[in-house]
Structure 1
Amino acid sequence: AEEKPGLGRRILKKLGFTGKLRVNKYRLRNSGLHMYACCTDGIDFSDFFEACGLPDTLNSWFLIMELHVWMCLVRMKQEGEEGKIVCRWLVYTMWEDIRTRGKAMGISSSQMTESLNVWTEQFYAMIFSYDEGIICDDRTLAGAVWRTVFNKSCDDPEKIERLVAYIRHQMQHVDALDTEQLLKYGKVPWLPFDPKMPLE
């Protein structure tokens, strides 16, 4: 008869601990930090601001940055316990960076706390909305983009269509990246956003 795993092992498996990690936790932590850096330093935010008609503010920066963080989260959720660890450090680093940026901009502690509460709620709503969009159709994803990036106020469908096309194209690219390289180094070489790219 096949030997059944012990109670302790079954509980650990339920909690998501499936055995020995392919990459050690310290390296996975660094990968989360590097992956976040790719979502800030590897993006030309001015292209998005111009193409989407967004003001050059911390809030607009957050909207575009969180979109790229979400794409990383979608990719890493495919990688079991290692992916979960990278995701946790990616999100932790994001909030720490936002606090630092806010302080550097002279935003008061009370204002920052209020903004962080709003952004935290928005971030998790964004994840749900984009997740639904990416597994459904372009119309659903367009609705998520309209609500999240454009705050329901965009009257130019082409702007929304271009961002939807970018997300689909970028997700295909990120999905194809080598798993071992992502877990070990966290480097995501983003494809550039071309606002003049012809729509299909």
Structure 2
Amino acid sequence: MFSRLFQRPRRERTIAALYGAIVAQSRLPVFFSERGVPDTLEGRFESVCLHAWLVMRRLAMGGTATAEFNQALFDFMFADLDFNLRELGAGDMKVGDKVKDLASHYYGRVGAYDAGMAAKDDSSVLESALDRNLYGSTLPDPAHVKVMADYTRRQLAHLETFPIDRLLSGELEFAST
């Protein structure tokens, strides 16, 4: 009985630590100052989505053993987005709908990024997905999009070798930017 009382808060702390590492990586100044990602609320959301997808894709490789943890990470991410929207002053009645929209957008990105990774012989698919999503309504320099596509592939290759048990304990290391 006591183990259940202490297990949940520990798991929540672990998920919070993992999500914190995702957010920290997504907010590195290099993305905004050197790679053209818009330094706006939308650009920051897109950067978090990209990095969350990288980690959640790795967790998904663990199959059913990591599915619940992966879902809890997703839920934590959107609870944080809900909190942040409220902190920014969004009306309570609209926050729920906005978070649902953001979740829908996230799933769209997952599909686009997964398709980009599946098209191994055609780098334009991932670059197009990044252009549409990470860069949003801006007109990015094609060189920036290419650098971010290379970065994304490098991160996925690194995370594919990163031990899942370390992710499940809240540890995360990205490859160099």
TM-score by length of 1: 0.74
Moved more, 101-110 or 43-52: 43-52
Identity over aligned residues, as a percent? 21
Moved more, 170-179 or 121-130: 170-179
- Aligned match of 2:99 in 116, 123, 132? 116
Q: Which runs of 5+ in 1 are unaligned?
A: 1-23, 194-200
- Aligned match of 1:159 in 136, 144, 150? 144
- Aligned match of 2:108 in 117, 125, 137? 125
Match of 1:186 in 2: 170
- Aligned match of 2:82 in 86, 94, 99? 99
Give, in angstroms, the shift of residue 28 of structure 1: 6.0
Aligned CA distance change for structure 1 residues 44 and 25 (closer, same or farther; 3 Å): same
Match of 2:4 in 1: none
Match of 1:140 in 2: 125
Distance 2:38 2:164 in 1: 36
Q: 5 Å matches for 1:161-180?
A: 161-180=146-165
Distance 1:96 1:132 in 2: 27
Distance 2:73 2:155 in 1: 19
Match of 1:149 in 2: 134
Distance 2:151 2:57 in 1: 16
Please say if residues 36 and 140 of structure 2, whose CA atoms lie closer than 8 Å, have aligned partners that are also in contact.
no
Distance 1:181 1:155 in 2: 35
Q: Which runs of 5+ in 2 are unaligned?
A: 1-6
Give, in angstroms, the shift of residue 135 of structure 1: 1.7
Give, in angstroms, the shift of residue 79 of structure 1: 0.6
Match of 1:71 in 2: 54
What is the SS of the residue equivalent to 1:79?
coil
Please say if residues 77 and 84 of structure 1, whose CA atoms lie closer than 8 Å, have aligned partners that are also in contact.
yes
Distance 1:140 1:162 in 2: 14
1:76-124 residue CA offsets vs partner (Å, 9 max, x unmatched): 1111222211210110000110111112222222443343233122101
Greater share of helix residues, 1 or 2? 2
AA partner of residue 131 (structure 1): D
- Aligned match of 2:20 in 37, 50, 54? 37
- Structure showing greater Rg: 1
TM-score by length of 2: 0.83
Distance 1:101 1:33 in 2: 15
Distance 2:144 2:25 in 1: 22
What is the SS of the residue equivalent to 2:148?
helix
Please say if residues 75 and 174 of structure 1, whose CA atoms lie closer than 8 Å, have aligned partners that are also in contact.
yes
Give, in angstroms, the shift of residue 35 of structure 1: 2.1
Report how many aligned residue pairs link the two structures. Answer: 169
Moved more, 162-171 or 142-151: 142-151
Please say if residues 29 and 86 of structure 1, whose CA atoms lie closer than 8 Å, have aligned partners that are also in contact.
no
What is the SS of the residue equivalent to 1:106?
coil
